[in-house]
Structure 1
Amino acid sequence: MVVQFVGKWILTASENFDEYMKALGVSFATRQMGVMLKPNLVISMDDDGVISLRTESTFKNTEIKFKLNEEFEENTADGRKTKTIITFENGKLIQQQTWDGKKSSLEREIQDGKLITKCIMDDAVAVRTYEKCAS
């Protein structure tokens, strides 16, 4: 159930995120900023099944709203315009992004009460760990 993802999550650990952003083609300056940020992730769902995924940081806030299994256009925090589809498979929210003949994916799952996000672009894999905020 997607409902287990609903809530406010705080980034507590990030591994290999610079390599992932480099594989995406993100500029050096933006990567430096991205590595330093500790964003919050706010996930909500309305009665019509529309899921909101909002990333909040001191640098930039982004939000996508989507329904599972329906493709939509996404403007990513690093400036890419992607065709994105998010599915729910085996307890994971799987986000597939395509742009300019390239593909990236983000796999989100709950493990031991933490939200683990695996960011994948070619051979570059970053793992970001979020803990649920009490409020």
Structure 2
Amino acid sequence: MEQYLGKKYKLVSSENFDEYLKFIQVGFLSRKAAQAATPVSFLERNADGSYTFSVTSPIKSSVVTFREGEEFVENRLDGAKVKSTVTIEGNRLIQKQVEDNGRTTTNMREFTPEFLVVTTTAEGWDGKCVRTYKVIELSIVCAVIGSKIPDKMSYFGKTFTFEKHEKFDEFLAALGVPQDKIDEICSQKATLILEKNGDTYTQKLMHKTTTFQSGVEFDETVGDGYQCKTICVVDGDTVTQTQKFKDGRTITFKKEFSDNKLVVTATNSAWDGVSYRYYSA
């Protein structure tokens, strides 16, 4: 398994995924969102001998840390809390998830230098879901274009100032924000700065400072004291921030940086639209 640690694999094909989601009783809208996503998966080994497996996408992300053969409690992407056990057999990562009703789902992840193939089966379901991921080779891409992998992205430390928005007022209204507050937020000349120090990132948005590590969940307070679980995933010039609230709502901000521009795409589970905020440095 050593040679596959740290490799990133992006979803390229899926078979019987919708049928599996129906079997575990995922709702229609959530199924459509899951099928539209193209998540990135990667496995890492930590200094204490444990492993961390991440599945990240702008819609939903999952990060689990485990020790081989030891049971742990997992909050699955469909919202179910399950007891999981992971074993490693050569290039295969075999995960068994047991629900409260005793039903077991098995995810077998088979790693190769080019692909990650995830085969999912479940007790009581006679089907099989197969999802195939292809490795993302950043070093090869850079070699082809004759460039080096950058040590520091050019946008780190720059101040990006808000210029205009599209439908952000509708985005806020769907979350129940009062109209006077919406008017105030939309008229603010907001600024955003992203900095990096080792594996830690710091985002400064107006008077709020948020520190995070890519793919690591943390507790966040937003708005007028609302608590949520947040994951920020850094992938090249894109930072995707997913906020999950206790009432089941999910908010996603995808920030796409360039040297002098920043585009923030905002969506939330209470609204079927998409909003944009545009910044310049």
Judge same fold: TM > 0.5, yes or no. yes
Mapped partners of 1:103, 1:69: distance in 2: 16
Mapped partners of 2:79, 2:23: distance in 1: 14
Mapped partners of 1:5, 1:97: distance in 2: 23
| Matching residue of 2:52 | 52
Q: How high is the TM-score relative to the length of structure 1?
A: 0.92
Higher relative contact order (CA 8 A, sep 6+): 1
Give structure 2 stretches of 5+ with no counterpart. 139-281
State yes or no: 1:117 paired with 2:118: yes
What's the secondary structure of 1:4's corresponding residue? helix
Q: Taking every aligned residue pair, what percent have the same amino acid on both sides?
A: 33
Answer whether contact 1:44 1:51 (CA < 8 A) is retained. yes
Post-superposition offset of 1:24 = 1.5
Answer whether contact 1:23 1:124 (CA < 8 A) is retained. no
Post-superposition offset of 1:101 = 1.6
Deviation per residue, 1:54-91 (Å, 9 max, x gap):
11111112100001100000001110100000011353
Task: Look at both structures and tell me which one has the larger radius of gyration over its CA atoms.
Answer: 2
Q: 1:126 aligns with which of 126, 129, 133?
A: 129
| Matching residue of 2:98 | 98
What's the secondary structure of 1:124's corresponding residue? coil
Structure 1 stretch displaced more, 79-88 or 40-49 = 40-49
Mapped partners of 1:101, 1:40: distance in 2: 29
Mapped partners of 2:10, 2:61: distance in 1: 14
1:1-135, aligned counterparts within 5 Å? 2-6=1-5, 7-89=7-89, 91-99=91-99, 100-111=101-112, 113-121=114-122, 122-135=125-138
Structure 1 stretch displaced more, 67-76 or 114-123 = 114-123
- Superposed CA RMSD in Å reads 1.4
Letter in 1 for 2:127: A
Letter in 2 for 1:108: R
What's the secondary structure of 1:30's corresponding residue? helix
Deviation per residue, 1:20-45 (Å, 9 max, x gap):
11111211211111111110112111
Give structure 1 stretches of 5+ with no counterpart. none
Post-superposition, which runs of at least 4 consecutive aligned residues in structure 1 deviate over 6 A?
Answer: none
Post-superposition offset of 1:97 = 0.3
Residues paired across the two proteins, number: 134
Post-superposition offset of 1:112 = 6.3
Q: How high is the TM-score relative to the length of structure 2?
A: 0.46
Mapped partners of 2:92, 2:57: distance in 1: 24
Mapped partners of 2:91, 2:103: distance in 1: 26
Mapped partners of 2:113, 2:63: distance in 1: 26
What's the secondary structure of 1:34's corresponding residue? helix
Letter in 2 for 1:38: T
